[in-house]
Structure 1
């Protein structure tokens, strides 16, 4: 998981959602059916969620698969009045949404959610990513429940992150060499490819650790040089690079 920035919605879309929320109690099928009937609202929300998502419309939970549907972070069954709440909508793949999370929403004894919301939480406060193995390790109860509910410890995800780490290191070395030889167009292409690949959490973690005392020893000097380039103005508009 990486932190994501939730942007504002157009006023007319906010108004349509508010009108739907007001009529939930009058809808024959309740909040869930009202949500299913709101096809144009779902279509318009999808545009904004895809724009928020990492890479090429990646799932905001696993970061691997393409997102396919709007997930209600706090499920409709638990909070029907939040069915049309923009701050309750995230973009998810079918597996994370339908197979893993479903209507699960664990809370602590104070009623606070024990799932990471990447639009309001910093995932790194709750999760450690072991880059070499691709495994997540929980730092908090919220991190532990997030791993469990979304299945972030699935072997296929751990293998994917481990391979992404190898791929990132190689591409970052290429980026540093291309920049050194002033091959700027190809360097920009490599930077863009890095920013839109699946498992943005791997690149995000590398960027986060690039200033650590042993970063050059762990990643290699060229890799760190590539990471530092990605924080510059030419790359700031792409995915986790600009975060």
Structure 2
């Protein structure tokens, strides 16, 4: 099962929650303590790092009054519907109650993750400029550079840059990165 989950994860089999550490554990999204029969349900298994799985989430599974889960479930939810990343500061904020609970339960704004996302943002501004120059020169290395960026930790930063509102993009990424970002978005979706 772990091999299959790793093959479905992006890049180097990152944790489905923090996107930083390597996924080393199989987490039961709905804890077995609450739903023992879900031990055999495929979509209840997610790749997680031991810190997120064992130190933070453990058996937490907040629900609303109707019994619906208040965590973003990456097997059915688009995290971008509930969470948004403040790129320059590296912190997450929420659009919804699911987003709020997800940030809290998984500690998504803990200092090591915030620092990592800020560093990833610096690289995610620089690498598309390099990629843009290589593409314009017709260098095949551009594709490898793009793949390395998609495989890197904190790929959520790259995806948040894809979703930047064009009216705010220059303010967020700066004038030197904007042409490369626009080209990147035209190739990889924006």
Shorter-chain TM band: over 0.9
| Shift of residue 170, structure 1, vs aligned partner | 0.3
> How far, CA to CA, are the matches of 2:10 and 2:155 in structure 1?
7
What is the Cα deviation at residue 128 of structure 1? 1.4
Do structure 1's residue 230 and structure 2's residue 188 form an aligned pair? yes
Residue 207 of structure 1 aligns with which residue?
Answer: 162
Equivalent position of 2:147 in the other structure: 192
Number of paired residues? 186
Q: Does 1:76 align with 2:32?
A: yes
Q: CA deviation at 1:59?
A: 0.1
Gaps of 5+ in 2: none
Match of 1:18 in 2: none
Q: CA deviation at 1:87?
A: 1.2
Q: Distance in 2 between matches of 1:230 and 1:141?
A: 30
So what's the TM-score if we normalise by structure 1? Answer: 0.73
When the two chains are superposed, the root-mean-square deviation of aligned CA atoms in Å is 1.5
Query: Once superposed, which parts of structure 1, at least 4 consecutive aligned residues long, lie more than 3 Å away?
Result: none
Of 72, 84, 90, which aligns to 1:128?
84
* Partner of residue 129 from structure 2, selected from 164, 173, 176: 173
Match of 1:71, SS state, is strand
**Greater gyration radius:** 1
Cα distance, 1:191 vs structure 2: 0.8
CA gap of 1:127–1:228, structure 2 versus 1, over 3 A, is same
Aligned with 1:78: secondary structure? coil
CA contact (8 A) 1:175 1:191 kept: yes
Deviation digits for residues 31-84 of structure 1 (CA, Å, limit 9, x no counterpart): xxxxxxxxxxxxxx1122112212210000000000001100000000000001
CA distance in 2, matches of 1:116, 1:206: 20
| Equivalent runs, 1:64-103 vs 2, <5 Å | 64-103=20-59
> Which stretches in structure 1 are left out of the alignment for 5+ residues?
1-44, 232-240
Whether contact under 8 Å (1:164, 1:202) holds in the other structure is yes
Is this contact kept in 1: 2:82–2:99, CA < 8 A?
yes
Q: Is the 8 A contact 1:101 1:150 kept in 2?
A: yes
- C-alpha distance in structure 2 between counterparts of 1:227 and 1:194, whole Å: 14
Q: Distance in 2 between matches of 1:221 and 1:68?
A: 38
